[in-house]
Amino acid sequence: MWHAVLGGALLAISIAAPPGPVMTIMANASMRGRVKESLLTACGGISGDVAWLALAIIGAVTFLNQRPRVVGMLGIVGALLLLWMAWATWRTAHAGVQSSGAPGSWKIGFFTVLTSPFSLAWWLANGTLLYTVWGWSGIGAFFVTGSLYAVAFIYTFRWVGRKAVSAIVWVAYVSVVVLAGFGLYVGWTNLRLLHI
């Protein structure tokens, strides 16, 4: 059982640790002291992973993988969402530290994960493994570790925000680049899937 728990925990780190759009929004909100907003975004992202796990268990992820045009349309929606978040974050950074900032929310976290081709690829590679090899012990360890990682991430950035308020605007501009970069890459990749 311990190897199932360890495997699930390591898989959670593999999906949570790389910097991505959801983490960018969470960091931005946390540094501005909007911890509740950041936690809701994290919960939305975790809910998106629950949805992908359910799809992996019933075989829908494999079904989607065999239909690249459907994945392409899903990815275009994700790319537009990322570009919208980049624009909202740029407006916040341009307005300065006192601005309320690009909103984080459960919906943003959920739909970012659900429309991400990166999430599809990750769950295609790992979803069946998590369920069939490690079972509910691995699944439980996966979501507990992911949740703890998100909370630690949020409060670390909250502490950094208190120590370095002037860095918030620069983090926002870096967030714009990350979000726009992801959006353009995802859009380009999925346009190729649609053969446009």
pLDDT tens for residues 22-81?
Answer: 888 888 888 878 899 999 999 999 999 999 888 887 876 667 767 777 777 777 877 787
46-51-53 Cα angle (round to 5): 90
The amino acid present at 46, given as its one-letter code, is I
Range of the domain at 77: 2-194
**Cα 144 to chain center, whole Å?**
16
Alpha-carbon distance 183 to 155, whole Å?
27
User: 96 falls in which pLDDT band (50, 70, 90)?
Assistant: low
Distance spanning both ends of the chain, measured CA to CA? 48
**Percent of residues, the chain, with pLDDT higher than 70:** 81
Alpha-carbon distance 149 to 165, whole Å?
23
Residue-level pLDDT at 99? 47
> Is the pLDDT assigned to residue 152 strictly greater than 80?
yes
Nearest to 45 by CA among 130, 105, 87: 105
Residue-level pLDDT at 168? 62
User: 97 falls in which pLDDT band (50, 70, 90)?
Assistant: very low
User: 196 falls in which pLDDT band (50, 70, 90)?
Assistant: low
> Is the pLDDT assigned to residue 6 strictly greater than 80?
yes
Counted domains in the chain = 1
Higher pLDDT, 178 or 38: 38
Could you tell me the pTM of the whole model? 0.71
In 3-state terms, what secondary structure has residue 28?
Answer: helix
Q: Taking all residues of the chain, what is their mean pLDDT, rounded to a whole number?
A: 79
> Which tens digits make up the pLDDT trace of 158-168?
888 766 656 66
Nearest to 84 by CA among 192, 9, 196, 183: 183
User: 100 falls in which pLDDT band (50, 70, 90)?
Assistant: very low
